[in-house]
Structure 1
Amino acid sequence: MTLQAKLDAFKADFEAGKPPYNVPCSVIETMHSATAELIASGAATKALKAGDKAPSFTLQDPDGQPVSSADLLAKGPLVLSFYRGVWCPYCNMELQALQAALPEFEKLGTSLVAISPQTAPNSRKSVRQNDLAFPILSDPHNDVAAAFGLRFAMPDYLIDLYKGLKNDLPAFNGDPSWTLPMPGRFVIAQDGTVLYAEVNPDYTRRPEPKDMLPALRRAATVAA
Structure 2
Amino acid sequence: MSQTGTVPVTVQGFLDELQATRDAEWAPEQLRAHADLRRSLEENADRERFVRPGDVVPPFALAEVGGGSVVLDDLLADGPVVLVFFRFEGCPACNTALRGYQLTLAPALRELGAHLVIVSPQIAERLAAIKERHGFEFLVASDPDRVLIDSFGIGFAPAEAARDESRGRGVDLGAILGTGDWVLPYPTVVVIDRDRTVRFADVHPDWMVRTESAAVLAAVRPLVGQ
- 1:92 paired residue number: 95
Letter in 2 for 1:179: V
**SS of corresponding position for 1:122:** helix
Question: When the two structures are superposed, what TM-score results if normalisation uses the length of structure 1?
Answer: 0.88
Change (3 A) 1:161 1:220: farther
Q: CA deviation at 1:147?
A: 0.8
Q: CA deviation at 1:61?
A: 0.7
> Superposed, which structure 2 residues align to 1:118-197 within 5 Å?
118-197=122-201
Identity among equivalent pairs (%) = 33
Contact 1:47 1:199 in 2 (8 A): yes
Q: Give ranges in structure 2 of 5+ residues lacking alignment.
A: 1-8
Q: Give ranges in structure 1 of 5+ residues lacking alignment.
A: none
Which of these residues, 104, 107, 118, is aligned with residue 108 of structure 2?
Answer: 104
- 1:55 paired residue number: 58
Q: CA deviation at 1:208?
A: 1.4
Q: CA deviation at 1:76?
A: 0.7
- 2:11 paired residue number: 3
**SS of corresponding position for 1:60:** strand
Change (3 A) 1:54 1:156: same
CA distance in 2, matches of 1:146, 1:27: 31
CA distance in 2, matches of 1:56, 1:31: 37
CA distance in 2, matches of 1:60, 1:147: 17
Q: CA deviation at 1:49?
A: 1.0
**SS of corresponding position for 2:146:** helix
Q: CA deviation at 1:195?
A: 1.1
Contact 1:7 1:204 in 2 (8 A): yes
CA distance in 1, matches of 2:192, 2:74: 13
Contact 2:18 2:96 in 1 (8 A): no
Contact 1:34 1:158 in 2 (8 A): no
Q: CA deviation at 1:159?
A: 2.3
Question: When the two structures are superposed, what TM-score results if normalisation uses the length of structure 2?
Answer: 0.88
Q: Deviations over 1:166-200 (max 9, x none)?
A: 33322221122211100100111000111111101
**SS of corresponding position for 2:199:** strand
